[in-house]
Amino acid sequence: MAGLEKHYFGRGNTAVGLYTLYDSILNGLDTVFVIDGRIGSGTSQVLAQLAAAWKDNGWTKHYIHETLDSEQLEGIILEEARIGIVDGNAWSADPVLEGTEIRVIDAAAALRSGFIDDVEARTKDLEQEIAALYAKAYDSFLKTLRIHDEWEKFYIDHLDRERANQITAEFADEYLVPFRSKKANVTRRFLGAATWQGALDYVPNLTENLRTRIFVKGRPGSGKSTMFKKLAKEAEARGIDTEIYHCGFDPNSLDMLIFPELSLAIFDSTAPHEHFPSREGDSILDVYELAIKEGTDEAFAEEIAEIRGRYSASMKHSISILSDIKRIRDEVWSAYDAAVDPAALRAVATQVVRQVDALTNSSV
C-alpha cells in the first residue's frame, strides 16, 4: 500500500535572491544522502528513479520540487525512516547537520570518460548567461515587492491593530491547545514558488488530510503574515509541533502554518494561492472584514487599481526572465545529458536504494 505524499519546495526565487530552507527541512533526520556531481539533469533523474522505486511502499514520502521547474525533484524524505536524499547542487557545498549521518554519492561517475572537459567548455558561456539572468530576475522581483509595499500601505494605515491582536489571541486560545508537555518541533518550508511557468503552490496536497483548515482572506497589508508569526511563536511556547511555510515571493513573510498533532492548518488563501472551502472542517477567516476600516477598498479604489496593474506587469516581467533561464538551462542540461551513461545513472539510484534497504531492514 502506497504511503502519503507531501509536496513542497526547499528553495525560492524571491525578492531577496535565491533563498533556501534546506537546513531546517533536513534537520533531525538520521541519514541524508547527497547526490553530488555536476551532471545536468542527472541528479533529477536519479531522484525520479528513486521516487519510482519507492512509489508503492508504505512510507510517507516528501517530494521536494525544484523552484525553477516544479516538474523536477531536488529532494525526497522518507518520513518514518528518517532518511533524506537531496541534490547536492541544491543544498550546501559542505553539508553539515548535527546528529545526522551524511552519505555523499558521487553521481559524476555517470559521465562518460573524456566528455566532461568538452561539455564544460561548451556550456561555460551559457552558465554565465544564466547567472546574469538570475541576478536580473531577483532585481525584478525586488522591484515588484516594492510595488506590493505601496499596495499594502493603504491597508496597514487602516488596520485596527487592537482588533487584529484580539483575533490572533482568540484563535490561539481556541485552537492551540497543547495535549502534552514537550519541546516543540519546528520545520520551515515553502508551500509555493515562482517557477518559470508562474506561481505554483501545493496547499491542497499539504492540507488534504487535515481535519480543520482555516482559509484566511484579506488584502495585502491586512496583517495575515503578522498573525501567522505570532501564532507560530505561541505554538512553540506551548510545545506544539509546527510546520511553517514561508512566502515564495517574500521569504520574510509567512503563508501557512500546519499543526500536525492538532490536524489543523491556517493559511493565506489569497492570490496567487487562492483557495476556497470545499468540505466539512473548512472555514474562512476574513481579516479585511474584521480588522480593516470599513470602506477602505472603495475609498482608494482608483489608486489601488493603478498599483495592482503595475504589480501584475512587474511580476509577469520577472517570470518571463525565469522562462528565459529555463530555456538556456535546457541547453546546458542537454549537453550534459548527451555525456551521461544512462546505465551508470541507474546504478547510482540502485546504490541508494540498497543502502536505504540496509538502514531500514527492508527491500523494494
Instruction: Give the DSSP letter of residue 185.
Output: P
pLDDT, one tens digit per residue, over 253-305 is 999 999 999 999 999 999 999 999 999 999 999 999 999 999 999 999 999 99
Q: How far is CA 230 from the centre of its chain?
A: 21
Contact 218, 270 (CB under 8 A): yes
Instruction: Give the DSSP letter of residue 4.
Output: -
Q: Is 330 exposed, middle or buried (0-12, 13-18, 19+ CB in 10 A)?
A: middle
* b/e map 39-62, b = 16+ CB within 10 Å: bbbbbbbbbbbbbeebeebebebb
Sorted by sequence, the CB contacts under 8 Å of residue 319 that are 6+ apart come out as 194, 196, 197, 198
Assign 364 a pLDDT band (cuts: 50, 70, 90).
very low
What is the spatial distance between Cα 111 and Cα 37, in angstroms, rounded to a whole number?
Answer: 9
Q: Is 91 exposed, middle or buried (0-12, 13-18, 19+ CB in 10 A)?
A: buried
Assign 362 a pLDDT band (cuts: 50, 70, 90).
low
Q: Is 286 exposed, middle or buried (0-12, 13-18, 19+ CB in 10 A)?
A: middle
pLDDT, one tens digit per residue, over 305-354 is 999 999 999 999 999 999 999 999 999 999 999 889 999 999 999 999 99
